[in-house]
Amino acid sequence: MVTKENRRQYAAQLRQMYQQRYQVFVEMLNWDLPLAKDGLEMDQYDTSDTLYLLKLDHNGEVLGSKRMNPTMRPHLMVDLFSHLVEGAVPRGRNIWESSRSCVPPSQQDQGIIGELFLGMAEAALIFHITRITFVVGMKFYPTVLHAGWGITPLGIPHKDDNGEELIAGMLIINPNSLNMMRWKYKVTRPVLDTTPALPERKVA
């Protein structure tokens, strides 16, 4: 889990993450991302407030990633995907957005998506996040549903400029949903390494 507290420690891994995002989203999926350049995919939502989840191998190489952003600040759904939401886009201190889930093709089918899902739920409980909003293609939506958490659709699917159907949704995060997810993925222990990512606590 990479936060503003330990970002310098993971500078090399974050750069590798941006490279993988470029390879997947720009080169493979042909997304129109104007800020992507020099082989790196970064945008205005990669900020000091962003929380990153990285799946690393034993050598510290990135196998998959995901980012989370607070909805009280600018984020993708409110700025670019509000048309997918019926009514107001959910925002609040306990509501965060998940985006840019990225697993390179060479690492797919290795259970990394499930670990990133579990890591996101664990991080949410640590930071008292109770709901997570997201936008996903309908092809991937069944994978999100399978994870075991409660999901509220925020609107009906709409096609983007490339003809892909997208849907906005919101995950409900609590200890019960995390336990259900662990049961679904047959995981019995936490997946996050949180020690270097949290602020130091002063001892009185």
**Each residue's pLDDT tens digit, 133-171:** 999 999 999 989 888 898 999 999 999 887 889 999 999
Per the domain annotation, does 153 fall within a domain? Answer: yes
Per the domain annotation, does 165 fall within a domain? Answer: yes
Range of the domain at 168: 7-188
Residue-wise pLDDT for 9-59, tens only, equals 999 999 999 999 999 999 999 888 999 999 999 999 999 999 999 999 999
pLDDT of the residue at 203? 41
Domain CATH number, residue 24 = 3.40.630.30
Per the domain annotation, does 42 fall within a domain? Answer: yes
34, 81, 143, 148, 179 from 176: Cα distances, Å:
40, 29, 19, 10, 5
pLDDT of the residue at 198? 62
Domain count, the chain: 1
Say if residue 196's pLDDT is above 70. Answer: no
Per the domain annotation, does 202 fall within a domain? Answer: no
pLDDT of the residue at 174? 95
Q: Which residues pair with 97 in a beta bridge?
A: 69, 133
Tell me what percent of the chain is helix, strand and coil, each rounded to the nearest 5: 35, 25, 45
Per the domain annotation, does 74 fall within a domain? Answer: yes
Per the domain annotation, does 193 fall within a domain? Answer: no
Q: At a CB cut-off of 8 Å and minimum separation 6, what does 122 contact?
A: 178, 190, 191, 192, 194
Residue-wise pLDDT for 93-132, tens only, equals 999 999 999 998 887 777 899 999 999 999 999 999 999 9
Per the domain annotation, does 1 fall within a domain? Answer: no
Closest by Cα among 136, 141, 144, 151 to 184: 144
pLDDT of the residue at 156? 96
Per the domain annotation, does 106 fall within a domain? Answer: yes
